[in-house]
């Protein structure tokens, strides 16, 4: 999947990256999923959400 967004604001939209990561993981693209999880983690201010995303990212390895 390309990371070219129609609107640059989407790059700052955390749910997009979390969803993209999940879809890439399901499709077998572990590297792409890990990159998207990292971006989602960078963008969240919620500690519980960060912990859940970090756990999902760790499960890729």
Is the whole model's pTM more than 0.85, yes or no? yes
CA 8 remoteness from chain centre: 16
Q: Does residue 1 surpass a pLDDT of 70? A: no
Model pLDDT, residue 3:
60
Q: How many domains does the chain have?
A: 1
Read off the pLDDT of residues 8-43 as tens digits, 9 standing for 90 and up.
888 899 999 999 999 999 999 999 999 999 999 999
Alpha-carbon span 58 to 32, nearest angstrom: 14
Residue-number span of the structural domain to which 15 is assigned = 8-58
Who wins on pLDDT, 5 or 12? 12
Q: Residue 3: inside a domain, yes or no?
A: no
Q: Residue 46: inside a domain, yes or no?
A: yes
Q: Tell me which residue has tokens 């919620």.
A: 46
- How far, in Å, are 2, 12, 22, 26 from residue 19 at the CA level? 14, 13, 5, 11
Q: Residue 28: inside a domain, yes or no?
A: yes
Task: Using pLDDT thresholds of 50, 70 and 90, give the confidence band for residue 5.
Answer: low
Q: Residue 16: inside a domain, yes or no?
A: yes
């Amino acid at each position: 999947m390309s990371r070219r967004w129609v609107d640059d604001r989407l790059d700052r939209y955390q749910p997009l990256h979390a969803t993209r990561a999940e879809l890439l993981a399901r499709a077998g693209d572990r590297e792409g999923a890990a990159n998207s999880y990292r971006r989602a983690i960078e963008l969240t201010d919620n500690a519980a959400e960060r912990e859940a995303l970090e756990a999902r990212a760790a499960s890729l390895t």
